[in-house]
């Protein structure tokens, strides 16, 4: 189904990032070799002039827009204005330049954060505008939601073929484990791995780990390789900017997730919940029937296996950083 991408000039913004590296690898499998990846050190996509330079160098037939400024609840609380501006500006500049240059297709990768805070579960694409997003990530979510509207308007007025994808929280090897910006799975993995190490060094035994919120909210998670396959399929097969959910259709409470990550990490100490800190949206679970119907795609990676693979990757990174061989 992806043969149509062979030989195409494809530009992948964010192509050097966590998801972008997987997307570029999937493109290579279908003959779309050597996609152009604009690096942030050379191109500031919030600046129109830099976006023009991207198009002049890449001469793309297709744009896959993955670049974003994003993080967990803490990062969203710290930088709501920047998250809105940066994500809105990048998308505006890229879509407009794609229209001006007659690009064949523009693929916009959005976010589950665009859905209303009290959206009926499972989230259906038709419910995207039924309310305002949860406040801790609303500026980011609204920016991404608006870019989907822009693509729909550009399809109607200018004939620009667009694709709009809404993935749930991604996880996997290569994710950001920075405590200031990481999402929930890498944040949990890092905390529990640190606690295991601390307990091993202490004669007092196991330590405690404090986590934000009550643990009662739920989330859905998608392994990064599964997301990359869906994005490449959508790039090859779709040309209508109707929103398409990407997920597993399964949710887990944060408390159960924490217990599962702790078990795999080997942590046996106490887990303390700080209910004074925000938990975010009450529930997240997507209806993924449209992706199954239009793309013949379903997530394949077992959650336990995905978690174990991610934890093993992080531990190997820690060993390399510390120079420890085990």
Q: From 163, 92, 160, 166, select the one nearest 129 (Cα to Cα).
A: 166
Q: Are 248 and 291 in contact (CB under 8 A)?
A: no
Please confirm whether the linkage preceding 122 is cis (ω < 30° from 0).
yes
Dihedral (Cα; 58, 50, 164, 21), 10-degree rounding = 60
Question: Is 115 considered catalytic here?
Answer: no
Q: Which of 115, 140, 171, 267 is catalytic?
A: 140
* CA gap 252, 134 in Å, rounded: 18
CB-based contact 23:13 (threshold 8 Å): no
Q: Quote the CA–CA distance of 146 and 191 in Å, as a whole number.
A: 35
DSSP label of 55: H
Burial annotation 132-157 (CB, 10 A radius, 16+ → b, else e)? ebbebbbbbbbbbbbbbebbbebbee
- Cα separation, 87 vs 226, in Å, equals 24
CB 170, CB 19: distance < 8 Å: yes
Q: How far apart are CA 162 and CA 8, in angstroms?
A: 16
CA–CA dist 188, 191 (Å, integer): 5
Q: What are the residues whose beta carbons fall under 8 Å from the beta carbon of 174, sequence distance 6 or more?
A: 18, 21, 224, 313
CA distances from 214 to 14, 191, 211, 267 (A): 33, 17, 8, 20
Give 246's strand partners: 167
Positions marked catalytic: 140
């Amino acid at each position: 189904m992806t043969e149509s991408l062979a030989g195409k000039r494809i530009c992948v913004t964010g192509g050097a990032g966590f998801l972008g590296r997987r997307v570029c690898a999937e493109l290579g499998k279908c003959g779309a070799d050597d996609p152009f990846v604009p690096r942030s050190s050379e191109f500031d996509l919030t600046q129109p002039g830099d976006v023009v330079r991207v198009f002049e160098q890449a001469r793309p037939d297709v744009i896959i827009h993955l670049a974003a400024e994003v993080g967990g609840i803490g990062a969203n609380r710290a930088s709501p204005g920047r998250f809105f501006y940066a994500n809105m500006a990048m998308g505006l500049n890229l879509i407009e330049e794609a229209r001006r240059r007659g690009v064949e297709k523009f693929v916009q990768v959005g976010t589950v954060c665009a859905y209303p805070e009290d959206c009926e579960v499972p989230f259906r694409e038709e419910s995207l505008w039924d309310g305002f997003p949860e406040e801790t990530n609303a500026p980011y979510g609204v920016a991404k939601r608006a870019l989907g509207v822009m693509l729909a308007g550009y399809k109607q007025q200018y004939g620009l073929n667009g694709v709009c994808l809404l993935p749930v929280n991604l996880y996997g090897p290569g994710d950001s484990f920075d405590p200031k910006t990481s999402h929930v799975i890498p944040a949990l993995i890092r905390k529990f791995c640190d606690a295991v190490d601390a307990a091993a060094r202490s004669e007092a035994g196991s330590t405690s780990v404090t986590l934000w919120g009550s643990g009662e909210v739920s989330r859905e998670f998608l392994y990064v390789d599964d997301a990359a396959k869906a994005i490449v399929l959508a790039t090859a097969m779709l040309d209508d900017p109707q929103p398409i959910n990407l997920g597993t259709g399964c949710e887990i409470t944060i408390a159960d997730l924490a217990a599962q990550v702790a078990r795999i990490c080997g942590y046996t100490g106490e887990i303390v919940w700080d209910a004074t800190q925000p938990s975010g949206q009450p529930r997240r679970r997507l209806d993924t029937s449209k992706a199954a119907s239009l793309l013949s795609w379903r997530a394949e990676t077992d959650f336990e296996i995905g978690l174990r693979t991610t934890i093993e990757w992080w531990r190997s990174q820690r060993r390399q950083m510390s120079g420890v061989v085990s």
